[in-house]
Structure formats: C-alpha cells, structure tokens
Amino acid sequence: MATRGRRGRPVLNPGFGKEDTKNGSTIHPTILKQARKSGQLNLSGRSLATVPDAVWSLYADVSEESKDVSLDNSEDRWWDSAELTKLILASNWLTSLAEGLSNFGALTVLDLHDNRLESLPEALGGLKNLQKLDISRNKMFELPECVTKAVSLRTLHMAHNQVARIDERIGNLNNLEDLDVSNNQLQALPRRIGHLSRLSKFNASNNKIQRLPPDVGAMFGLRYCDLTHNQLGELPNNLGHLLYLEQLYVRHNHLADIPLLTQCSKLKELHLGNNRIQQITMAHLECLKSVTVLDLRDNQLTVLPEAITLLEGLERLDLSNNNLIGLPFTLGLIVSLKSIVLDGNPMKSIRRDIIMRGTMELKKYLHNRIDEPKPPPISSQGLESTEGQSGLIGGTGDGVSAHDMHTSKLLDYSGKQATDVPLDVWAVAEKSGVMTVDISKNKFSDLPNNLMLLQDTLKVLNLGFNCFTTLHQDISLFMNLVSLDLRNNSLSALPADMESLENMRDIFLSCNRFTSIPPVLFELKKLEILFIDNCKVDTIDAGGLCSLPRIGTLDLQNNNISQVPPELGNCTQLKSLLIGGNSFRNPRPAVLAKGTLALLEYLRNKIVT
C-alpha cells in the first residue's frame, strides 16, 4: 500500500500486521529483523512523526518464540545479530528523538536530514563510535551541545538550518574532516574552530559572516574552503598559512583586497568574483604560481599586471565585468591558458572582433605584439605618406584611411549603407595584405565585387547586418578564412561548397531564417564556435555536432526546438551550450541553470541503451 509523503512523493509502507502502532507509526517486523542481521536500518521518507518504540528496543524485543527455533534455521539465529552501525531517519516529520538512541553504542552513521528537529537527545553525546552525523534541513537554532561530545565525528553536516551561533566547544571535535554549516544565519565563527586541524573540507557559504577569526590559519589540513555569499570585508593574513589548501571560494562578499597567500603552494582554484577588488599585484601573483583557475569576475579591476605570467599553469581566467581597457601582451605567453573571459569590460586597445575569435586567437594576438616594432613609414605606390594629407581613399566623406589599413591589416567599410566598395579601396587593401574585412551594417545582398583580390590573405570576414538571402558559392574560395560573421541577414541555407573552408573556426549565424543547422558545417572539423541563435531552428543534429572534434561553444537560444536529443550529451567537447528560449519542456530551466557540464550529464543519463 502506498501513502503520500509531505512533498507528494509516494511512500511505500511494506506491509501490515504485527506492526508497532503504539505511537501512530508503522514498521513491519521484517524490516527490524533485517536490520538486526545487517546492522543497518533505513526508515527514510516514511512520513514518521516520531520514531517507533520498536526501533529503540530493536534488540531487547527479540521474543522467546524466536529464540526457541531450530538450530538449522540460519535466518532466525538471533545470537548472530549484528550491532546497528547505520541509522537513516531522513526525510520524515520528526520533531524530536528519544534517549533510546543510547541503545546503539556501535552507531557510526546517523542521518537525520530533512526533518523538523529543533534539538537532539543528550544520548547522542555518548555515541563514541559515531563518525558521520547529518542534521541538514531541520529547524536547529544552534549546534546542540551533545554534538560537541561525539568526539569521534569525522563528518558533520548541518546546512539549511537557522543556526545563528556555533559554540566554542566545536573545537573538541578534533577528528572532524568534513564540516558543512552552509545556508544558516551565522554572523561569526568561533575562535576554537582553529582547533579542527584535521578538517579537510569546510563549507560556510550562504551565511552572514562579517569576519573570520585569525585562528582559521591553524586549520592546517584544510583543502577545500567555501565562504561564498557572506558579508566578509576582509580576510585574515593567517589564511596564507594553509599549506594544503587547494580550492578557495569567496565569491559574493565585500572584499576590497585579498591577503598574500604566502604558503598556499598547493592552491589550484581561487574564486574571488563578485567583490570590490580594485587591484591584484605582482606580490599576490607570486603566491599563486600553482593556480589553474583564477576567477576575478565582477570586481573593479582597471589593470592586469604583466606578472600574470608567473601563473605558468593557469588554465582558466575570468575577468568579465571589470574596468579593464586592455590586457598585458605577456598574457599570450601562458601556454596552458585555455579560457579567457572578458565580457563586460570597456576594452579599447583590443578590437572586439579579435576577442570574439576565442582564447587561442586572442593569445596569438597578444603574443605577436610583445616588443612589436613601430610600423615603418609607408611609401609604396598608392600608399604615400599621409603627412599633411587626409590619407582617405574611397571618397573624402565616407572614405577609409590607407595608413590605418596598412598598419592594422583591417578594411573597415561598415555602417555606410553601401552596396559596393570603391575599386581604389580594394587596390590598397590588396597591396596592404588585408586579413580582416568588415562590411557589416550596409545593404549588400551578394559578395562585393573585387573581394576576390584578397583571396590569399583574408582570414576574417564580417557580412553581418546586410540583406543576404543567399550566400554565393564563391565564399568557398577563401581557403584561409577562420571567422565568418553572417548575423542579421535573411539566410536559410549555406552553399555545400563551403566544406573546402577547412580552417574555419568561428561562424556567427544569429538572427537569420535557418530551420536546421546547415549540414555543411559538420564538415568543418576545426570549427570551435557556432552561434545560430534567434533563428527558426526546430531540430538538433546531435550526431553532426558530435562529429566536430573542437566544437566548444554552441548557441541555439531562442529558436523553435521542441525536443533536445539525449545524444547531444555525448558532445563532451562542448564547454558552453546555450539552448534556453525554446519550446521544449525537458530539460527543465532548473537543469539549464546548472551550466553546460550538468546539462550534458543530464542528457547522457537520458540515453536509452
């Protein structure tokens, strides 16, 4: 017979008859019998308001009848029963526990999470073998004193309560290795928390902590520390004494500065996002040489020092939403760096199209400008020195600078409402070896005349915000193209000949009329970034996407996708998958909000084998 738990989930009640109904709860004798044999009793999710007395008298209630049985019946040999070592009472309606807990002196695991407990029995302090206690998601307002007497505890989870204060006696738990006090009302931590020298994992996120005691520097075993979403205005210098610290999360606080983590030689991940940090100095970086992930997003940085190269193993650098106007060229020297995030910065010294090409191209750009010599004076035919002259070609009003084109290798003819580009502009572009052409925000409906003059040098082509309904097959002749921008046109297909563009890395197809991902794109094996959002795409070719070995970013937002194939989860090379704003119901928004890795795992788990 099935009943309903408090969250509406079905709760199985495994039988009636010979049940303990003394206090309104029912436990079948078979379950108790199995617990005596295995030493484990799981009564989770049964809507219990109290623990049945039969549980506390688990061993005392062995009847005379059960003792007077055949010696050949191994199932009823009561003298072979195992002591209870694991008791799970999670996800019930318990408001209290009886002192009968003292009957289970061998208990090593006690799981009470997701109940309504406000206190715990004193008997808990006498459980000298207890190693793991989970009292998360209850109604505790303080850490019960009895817990501080369970000196063998190695794991203590009390997240999602209303705890406003932790007693200094927590320092008695010197065997503790994992402590989770997240999602409470803590404003401070006790000084004696520093006595927890064996603590390896500490989570105090989502509280109201304003200051850390200097004693945290004595938690020498700490490897993982999460202080996210608190009210910390500073961190103690003693934090730098944590020799084995590997991951430190202090996002969403009020930090204006960070201490020198002088002895944290094993630190791999440092998450400082969403604070008020204005600078990170060479002295800071000298202490972070082992860091692989550095998160500085949503701060107030104006400069990134050239000493960033001290972080030789850096793999991910998040600088989004700061006040950076440029980057040190030396950043391009960090070989291990795989991801640089710069969104939301007022970059002036680096063109946006370079940033949009991805981390590898940005690194190449920065590397190539280290000790870059000044450009020589221009004195070739059609590129005479412009001193004393306008230096404009293609018309004095809407013309472009020959000098700028020569030095930047960029032809920028955007935003002119044009349908063609003057021949003299193409002539100078050819002689200058132009590699980037931007003719966006015009009225082109076909590839411009004379674009073929740049066939051998063109790498980046921006045709966005024009009037294209089809793309001419001649695009396939630009064999060196690595980035193609076709946003905001009226395209519904791409020419099959584009398969020859074997160096293509980035394609932007947003705001067009595609109803599916053009199949020719699956032939471009170096493709890393594909934006095809805000179109009319209604299907996802998971097999085609999985065949792209380097695809890292895929944006399919705001289309007509009604079903996401589970096989898309096999596309593990994806680092950023955006599929929100479509008509499908699964995955749910809550799954999408967890990020790309969680989404891919969710999809893989849905694959029917």
- For residue range 130-153, list pLDDT tens digits in order: 999 999 999 999 999 999 999 999
> Is the per-residue pLDDT at 8 higher than 50?
no
Provide the b/e sequence for 517-540 (b: ≥16 CB within 10 Å): bbebbbbbeebbbbbbbbbebeeb
The mean pLDDT value for 555-560 works out to 94
pLDDT surpasses 70 at 291: yes
| Helix runs in 29-80, H state only | 29-38, 53-56, 64-67
Quick: pLDDT tens for 509-535.
Answer: 999 999 999 999 999 999 999 999 999
CA distances in angstroms from 541 to 343, 536, 537, 546, listed in the order given: 29, 14, 11, 9
Say how far apart CA 169 and CA 190 lie, in whole Å. 9
Q: Structure tokens of 235?
A: 């961190």
Structure tokens at 526: 């170096």
- Quote the pLDDT of residue 46: 92
pLDDT above 80: residue 23: no
Query: Domain coordinates of the chain in residue numbers?
Result: 402-605
Q: Please give the pLDDT value at position 407.
A: 78
Distance CA 604, CA 607 (A): 5
In this prediction, residue 69 carries a pLDDT of: 46
Tell me what the mean pLDDT of segment 468-497 comes to. Answer: 93
Q: Name the average pLDDT for the chain.
A: 86
Strand-pair partners of 41: 87
Residue 393, pLDDT score: 67
Q: Quick one: pLDDT band at residue 595, thresholds 50, 70, 90?
A: confident
Res. 9 pLDDT band, cuts 50 70 90: very low
Just give the CATH number of 402-605. Answer: 3.80.10.10
Q: Flag whether pLDDT at 548 surpasses 60.
A: yes
Contacts of 351 (CB under 8 A, 6+ apart): 410
pLDDT tens by residue, 150-179: 999 999 999 999 999 999 999 999 999 999
Q: Using CA atoms, how far apart are residues 53 and 602, in angstroms rounded to an integer? A: 42
Give pLDDT, residue 356.
Answer: 82
Counting beta carbons within 10 angstroms of the beta carbon of residue 503, is it exposed (0 to 12), middle (13 to 18) or buried (19 or more)? Answer: middle
Q: Which long-range contacts (CB under 8 A, 24 or more apart) does 189-192 make?
A: 189/213, 189/216, 190/166, 191/215, 192/168
- CB crowding 486-496: b at 16 or more within 10 Å, else e: bbbbebebbee
How would residue 206 be classed by pLDDT, with cut points 50, 70 and 90?
Answer: very high
**Mean per-residue pLDDT for 496-519?**
93
pLDDT digits (tens, 9 = 90+) for 59-98: 875 544 444 444 445 445 555 678 999 999 999 999 999 9
Residue 490 pLDDT > 80? yes
Answer yes or no: is pLDDT of 24 > 60. no
Read off the DSSP letter of residue 527: -
Q: Output 419 or 378, whichever has higher pLDDT.
A: 419
pLDDT at 397 over 80: no
Taking residues 20-38, what's their average pLDDT? Answer: 74
228, two tokens: 């996210």
Alpha helices, DSSP H, located in 128-247: none
Contact of 449 with 424, CB cutoff 8 Å: no
Which pLDDT belongs to residue 388? 35
pLDDT tier at 355 (50, 70, 90 boundaries)?
confident
Structure tokens at 592: 């999408």
Terminal-residue alpha carbon distance, the chain: 32
Between 497 and 80, the more confident residue is 497
pLDDT score at 519: 95
CB contact burial 87-105 (16+ within 10 A = b; e otherwise): bbbbbbebeebeebbbbbe
How far is it, in rounded angstroms, from Cα 444 to Cα 310? 48
Q: What pLDDT was estimated at residue 296?
A: 96
Q: How far is CA 252 from CA 213, 277, 324, 416, in A?
A: 19, 11, 20, 44
| Residue 396 pLDDT greater than 90, yes or no | no
d(CA 345, CA 88): 51
Predicted TM-score (pTM) of the model is 0.60
